[in-house]
Structure formats: structure tokens, C-alpha cells
Structure 1
Amino acid sequence: MGRRRIGGRGGLALAAALLATGPARADVQVRYTAPERFTDAENRFGSGQPLRVTLAELTRIFQDLGNAKLRPGERLDVTVLDIDLAGFDRPGLSTPTGVRVVTDATPPRIRFAYALRRDGRIVAQGEETVTDINFLLTSNPRFSTGGLYYERQLLRDWFARRFPENG
């Protein structure tokens, strides 16, 4: 039995095309409804993280978790309706990044609607408010990288509960 070998420029082009496309990934689309009215998504005292940075980071969190947890080819549409970040801004301290005081009385809370599509059909949808009053007991930001650590942990837990069969 002879094996067929692909050689020359055609074979290299095919190999390059396969490498460029990579494995299929889940598609996660995130939208925000009236973010300027969110409970607490930015430092309102002139220092700290602006709203656009918070929204960009939250979008990245949803996309990273979706790509890790959802099946290739699935699409998750998320519409964020409200954000209340962990902690509260401390006015009066003028530091370039601001100061956010986090206590057990200030848990993160995110309200959003979602729809999961598989082969163009909606297979799961709903509106959720995720929060964890024990967030300081169940997470340790000292070993984290990136911003919005408590919110990332909250969404990681939600993905694990909502899509357990996918991962």
C-alpha cells in the first residue's frame, strides 16, 4: 500500500491554512445596557479605573471563561444589566489608581441575561443575578493576576454551575 505524500507549495499552503484556523472556539458576545447607570462599575471620585476599563476587563473575563468552558461552535450572548463591584471606593485618598475598600459586607454582584446557542438553536437562556456573600472566604486575590478578581471568581463559579456538562 502506497502512502500519498503532499509536498511542494500546495502541501505547505494546506498546513499553514490548518495552523492558522486552529481549533474551533466558542463565540462569546458581551453587550452592556446603560452602563453609565450601573450601581458601581467605576470610581466616581475621579481616580481609579474608568468605566471603559471595567467593561473591557469584564468582557475579557466572559470571553476567557466561555472559551474554556463552552464547546467549540457554541455561541453565548450576554447582556450585562448591572454591575456592583466588590468593595467601595474610598474618597479623599488621592492615588493614581484610587483605593477600593473590600469588606465582607460589600460582595460583588452582576446581573445579566444570556442565551446559549448550539447549531443556531437556543439551548439555554435566562436572566441571572450572581453574587456570593462568602466571597472573602472562598477566594484569595493574593495569587491572582489581572483586575476584577472577585468578579472573575464569581463568573467562574457561575460557568461551572450553569454549564457542567461542557467542561
Structure 2
Amino acid sequence: MRSVLAACLLLGLAHTARAEAPLTLRFVAPERYTDAQSRTGSGPTLRTTIGGLERIFRDLAGRTLHPGQSLTVDVLDVDLAGTDLPGAGPTAPRLVTDVTPPRLRLRYALRERGRVVLAAEETVTDINFLLRARPGGSSSLAYERDILAAWFGARIARREPPRG
């Protein structure tokens, strides 16, 4: 009797855990990303970048998704803002100019109560990213956070379909 009760309790907890996970995030072939890690030894590792992006996605999903909604995102490519400074050391900042915007290629599906309400594949970027950059941003992925916050607002909160 106790084992049956325990099994039912575990099944209930597993179902609850799945129901409370509104974001499914996958990094597809990250070793092939355009620019997600330092290739010169000065800057973030691939693991650091993926960890930072995952925190950004989870934070924004937690703020944006409503009960009954779920979001699946496949990150297909990452091109961080700026470029590495060769030989500058592992904690060196990236050289960021208006011609080096961040770009993330995403495939996603927004569901409400299990029904897909918006799905697409698009490149998230903003050539004017420096115009809205916050001075003194301390995060190494501050520009990527900004463009993803705008994307979450447009696609997920307001359900605006991608252009094109």
C-alpha cells in the first residue's frame, strides 16, 4: 500500500514539475555557432556564453509567460556583440561597435493550453543596439539581453509575428 501511495505521489510531482516548466530551451550544435566563444583566448568560453544566455532566457520567460503558456526555443546560432581583442587576456572586454550587433538565430513555438499560437524561425538582432544600450551595463551579455528582452516583448507578450 505504501509503495503504491509513494508511486502515485512521485507521478504527481513529476507531472507538476512538467507543468511548471513553461520554457524548453535547446542549444542546437553550439560548437558550430558563429561567435559564442573566444577563439583568441580573450573572452568567454562557450560554456560561459551558453550559461549566460540560458539565465537570460529563463529570466525573461519567467517575467513574460502567463499561466497556461509554454515556449519552446531552439537556439540555432549565436553571434555575440562585438569582436574579441586578440591577446588581451581571458577577462578582456570585447570591442563593440555599431557594425558588430548581436545576432541570435532562433526557432520557437509559443503554446497556450497546448495549442501553438505562434511559431517561426528568425534572426533576432538590432543594428541600432548601441542607441538603446544602458550605460555602465555590467553583464558581459548586456547587449544580447537587450535584444532578447525586446524580442520577448514583441513576439511573446504582444504576439507580433516576425516581419518578412
Tell me the SS of whatever aligns to 2:24: strand
Matched, 1:150 2:160: no
**Alpha-carbon distance, 1:140 to partner:** 1.6
Larger Rg: 1
Q: Distance in 1 between matches of 2:47 and 2:135?
A: 22
Structure 1's 31 and 141: CA in aligned 2 closer, same or farther, altered over 3 A? farther
> Which structure 2 segments of 5+ residues have no match?
1-15, 160-164
- TM-score, normalization: structure 2? 0.79
**Alpha-carbon distance, 1:146 to partner:** 3.1
Match of 1:55 among 50, 56, 60: 50
> Which structure 1 segments of 5+ residues have no match?
1-20
1:108 alignment partner in structure 2:
102
Matched, 1:126 2:120: yes
1:39 alignment partner in structure 2:
34
Q: Distance in 2 between matches of 1:73 and 1:164?
A: 13
**Alpha-carbon distance, 1:137 to partner:** 0.8
Q: Distance in 2 between matches of 1:103 and 1:38?
A: 20
1:27-63 CA distances to partner (integer Å, 9 max, x unpaired)? 1111011111101001111232110110111111111
Matched, 1:79 2:60: no
Q: Give me the identity figure in percent.
A: 54
Q: Distance in 2 between matches of 1:81 and 1:70?
A: 22
Checking the alignment, whether the CA contact within 8 Å between 1:25 and 1:73 is kept in structure 2 is: no
Checking the alignment, whether the CA contact within 8 Å between 1:25 and 1:72 is kept in structure 2 is: no
**Alpha-carbon distance, 1:164 to partner:** 3.5
Q: Distance in 1 between matches of 2:144 and 2:95?
A: 15
- TM-score, normalization: structure 1? 0.78
Structure 1's 133 and 65: CA in aligned 2 closer, same or farther, altered over 3 A? same
Checking the alignment, whether the CA contact within 8 Å between 2:42 and 2:85 is kept in structure 1 is: no
Q: Distance in 1 between matches of 2:62 and 2:146?
A: 16
1:163 alignment partner in structure 2:
156
Q: Distance in 2 between matches of 1:157 and 1:131?
A: 10
| Number of residue pairs matched by the alignment | 142
Q: Distance in 2 between matches of 1:154 and 1:98?
A: 22
The runs of at least 4 consecutive aligned structure 1 residues that moved more than 2 Å come to: 144-147, 163-166
Q: Distance in 1 between matches of 2:112 and 2:37?
A: 34
Letter in 2 for 1:147: S
